[in-house]
Structure 1
Amino acid sequence: MTRVADRYRLVDQLGVGRSSMVWRAYDDVLGREVAVKVLSPEVAQRARLLDRIRAAGRLRDRFVAEVYDVGETEAGLPFVVMELVPGRSLGSLLAEGELSHPTAVTVGAQVAAALAAAHARRGAH
């Protein structure tokens, strides 16, 4: 799979887990870089998945990546197109060892702000 929905050109894989693969991609229609998360078949079977994706798409907060699009790949797997946020993942930071106290406090505050925004919209992750 090198393209999704005849619009998103997958450039390189940013991460992989049990539930999904995340790709840096290029949106050929709008001419910008995006993140494309392709969900695994196991996750795709879960109930209420589309409701969660729609709730995330309505969420606006500076600590939450914006959702641009949703759909299904040619293989029938759900995908979500999101804002590509520059920087390193929390997982890569933690792989290097413990976070410094100031960094841990900053990350914790950002996660708390994102959760507060989700709760305010009645939809928590």
Structure 2
Amino acid sequence: MDRYRSNDNIVWDCDYHVVFCPKYRRKVLVDGIGSRFEEIAHEVAEELDFEIREIKVMPDRVHMLVSVDPQFGIHRAVKRIKGRTSHDLRAEFPQLKRKLPTLWTNSYFVSTVGGATPEAVRQYIEDQRNA
């Protein structure tokens, strides 16, 4: 995988660790919902030309390692993933509408990977499953 990406104006290497949770931290990302979330998130990333390098969906949270064009912005990428997945998952899995007023909380955690290697962040995300 090439570390640097580019567009017409810039070359970048901007990796972010992103975490967000369902409303009330309910454990609803189960029984096929989590795998469908991953599919939709990858569709959004492909449409908007950013990269999800790692993704782990747990029943009550999502961890992702994302590479995003700084001109597009990590906030837009997260907003689009949360918006599309909420819309599509609630349409495909009606039980989500009954359990929650909205699928996601308004908040999320984001951290630049900084000096950590992408492999170290991938390992951290993988280890979250056992936490």
Q: Which has the larger radius of gyration?
A: 1
Question: Quick one: higher RCO (CA 8 Å, sep 6+), 1 or 2?
Answer: 2
TM range, smaller chain: 0.3 to 0.5
Higher strand share: 1
What is the TM-score with the length of structure 2 in the denominator? 0.31
What is the TM-score with the length of structure 1 in the denominator? 0.32
